[in-house]
A and B are shown apart, each in its own frame.
Chain A
């Protein structure tokens, strides 16, 4: 049974935390879960909601239609009463709202406590606890684990709300236990941990939503992971420091969103010329410019593909799930070090900041293993047959020159036409070696079989797979993981099929890329660009309409 819990309220009422506690309750039952947080770019007030969907099978999206909706304020009530499933429960805050459903005095019960606003979220957890048939003792343990600050107040408040809710909604949804307890990670946590599993030494970033939680997570766990984390003055310093660190042999990664990445363009090109291994995480939000900071969109696809001036091999890949984000980050670190060129992990808010249950085996992640210079005189840019020049790091008796100017094999600046051609061709050959290497790897995920063939990528894959479940739709889903170099060798076979593209962009960027690279001209392009991810049920209805 798929079960969904939605909690809504103002920022500062612990709504997001309540969502994550709900998820951890489901995870502790051995179930799968998917949590999506919808929040605004503000500290207090406004409207936030968190929605958690759980099942005993894998779920790759939240559903908006919810079995239990808890609304802490009037605005949440008016927005989310429409999301209550036919036999679902609508709980509202009787202190703030006159409504239909189950009224619970969350606010007046919270008033005796030192922080009556922040504690409200604990009350919503207590309602859920009663609904799914937890005992009061189980709820107490949950609250003690999840809300350790001011724990006595939290447990007392939770118990009070539980007692009120139990006779009204108690044991309405008795969820069966799942097969095993899994890890539960956000996309950004998976990116951070995948990078560490892959051999990361240094993460450098300037805060920008929705990438910031990579910085926060790695800074919080810096010591146990044995890495360095720096937050310097701006994104330009970020990427140039990371390049300097790579020169000294550190496996470096940077992370940002569109605006910050625009500032990094100049140094991205520097990495191309100096042949610096560098991984950049680009987590998109709706643009252009400041756009809509805390929402999701895939409008940066062409921007990512064309990052940096000049010609050099670029790598762009985008994960289609939290699990894939973990492995792909490690794989991209490995690849940028193998090919000594900058790469981009392109993702979106919907993956970065949504969380889901994962089955991850760290041993399956790649570990950075570059080609090292072994003996003899060292030439940083030795003109090898595969275009890859072995690495050597300071301190060394050899001269190690990385150069932003066009250079000779030693790394000394040149304007000689023959050397310009030679170095262009070396970098180009490296790009060709990269393509050959990728041909031996999994560059495209394919799900299902038969017509229609749905082409999608990145976080939209999660919505698509869940939509097929929701609508009981049979289809083939083709998800290129790599977008540059584009895996034409895999995708072209789907040329003569009934094609549908699904993406989060207003102009159909992915559809145009697909056409440009493979000649595939899909019959239909389903686009969404209101900042909100697809709801699987809505998407299923749209797919059925176009079939």
Chain B
């Protein structure tokens, strides 16, 4: 057991893509520490599902949230204390089913948060139902005849919503994924990492991804090229597809102020309240 792993018993299936995400993130934390971002300033959250077990396994502070809400949880953390680096782990059902509004709005307001989506196209923990990213025809217990819906493209959706950092990773390319995670956490603004995560039990995509995944040699030059790259079906490019500098939500709200670290004293606060109560 290393110093980033808790005593919680790991119950992911052997070979699960989550192991790669877990190990890549630990590697990313060590890299961030070498760049003077202390782990004590990293706060995490997770939704509910197989992905979310990462919360128990990672020895990092945070709040184990509920299904679809981890992105909202960490936005609250960040706005309260902008010195923190906040990361939400989410499943594809979390991010693009239950919590899709939070994803779109976090991107729209350029909240300075990182969302890592364990995108396996299946609800694993609830025994294999189709998700927002399952391909049409996917057969699960709620769609025994096959899903009749087209899947969402998370990358294109987040680009359209205003994300300022959009990337895709693959756990089998662990160092590459860790590098993306470092860049995502360092990015000031909304960073989205879609991870192609094979589910060995319900949706084993290793073979498919090993054939289709292709490491991007450079970030596409424009937003339009990023969208084209995100929509490719013949290949699955991985790497940073889009990054742009824009003011983050908390800075637009109140500049460099830190609401918890620079809280007004009781005396000052009461004076300003008194002026409004008794003008």
Which A positions have Cβ atoms within 8 angstroms of B?
182-183, 185, 189, 193, 196-197, 199, 201-202, 204, 221, 224-228, 230, 232-234, 236-237, 240-250, 252, 266-267, 270, 274, 326, 358, 360, 362-363, 365, 367, 393-405, 410-413
**Interchain CB contact under 8 A, A362 and B277:** yes
Which of A183, A233, A398, A401 touches B278 (beta carbons < 8 Å)? A183
**Interchain CB contact under 8 A, B84 and A248:** yes
Which of B66-74, B202-210, B213-221 is the interface stretch? B66-74
**Interchain CB contact under 8 A, A360 and B263:** no
In the complex, A174 Cα to B212 Cα: how many Å? 88
**Interchain CB contact under 8 A, A243 and B276:** no
Given contacts A183-B278, A226-B272, A358-B277, contact A412 B260 (CB under 8 A): no
In the complex, A245 Cα to B78 Cα: how many Å? 7
Given contacts A183-B278, A193-B273, contact A237 B72 (CB under 8 A): yes
In the complex, A484 Cα to B75 Cα: how many Å? 31
Residues of chain A with a CB closer than 8 A to B101's CB? 233-234, 236-237
**Interchain CB contact under 8 A, B84 and A199:** no
- Closest residue of chain A to B45, judged by CB? A244
**Interchain CB contact under 8 A, B273 and A225:** yes
Assuming A197-B270, A199-B266, A245-B79, what are 13 further A-B pairs, CB within 8 angstroms?
A182-B278, A193-B276, A225-B269, A226-B263, A232-B105, A233-B102, A237-B101, A244-B76, A244-B80, A394-B40, A401-B62, A404-B65, A413-B56
B234 contacts the other chain (CB 8 A): no
Given contacts A201-B259, A226-B269, A240-B73, contact A248 B61 (CB under 8 A): no
Residues of chain A with a CB closer than 8 A to B8's CB? 412-413
> Chain B's nearest CB lies how many Å from the CB of A44?
31
> Chain A's nearest CB lies how many Å from the CB of B46?
9
What are 22 A-B pairs with beta-carbon distances under 8 A? A196-B272, A201-B263, A204-B76, A226-B269, A228-B80, A228-B259, A233-B105, A237-B75, A237-B101, A237-B102, A244-B80, A247-B77, A248-B80, A249-B81, A362-B270, A399-B60, A400-B61, A402-B63, A404-B63, A405-B64, A413-B8, A413-B53
Interface residues on B, range: 35 or more
In the complex, A527 Cα to B56 Cα: how many Å? 52
- Closest residue of chain A to B276, judged by CB? A193
Residues of chain A with a CB closer than 8 A to B81's CB? 248-250, 394
Residues of chain B with a CB closer than 8 A to A201's CB? 80, 259-260, 263
B172 contacts the other chain (CB 8 A): no
Residues of chain B with a CB closer than 8 A to A267's CB? 66, 69
In the complex, A247 Cα to B73 Cα: how many Å? 9
Given contacts A233-B101, A240-B65, A245-B77, contact A395 B277 (CB under 8 A): no
Which of A266, A360, A402 touches B277 (beta carbons < 8 Å)? A360
B14 contacts the other chain (CB 8 A): no
Of A224, A232, A397, most B-chain CB atoms within 10 Å: A232
| Closest 8 pairs (CB-CB, A-B) | A244-B76, A226-B264, A241-B76, A240-B72, A250-B80, A248-B80, A245-B76, A245-B80
Residues of chain A with a CB closer than 8 A to B6's CB? 399, 410, 412
> Chain A's nearest CB lies how many Å from the CB of B159?
19
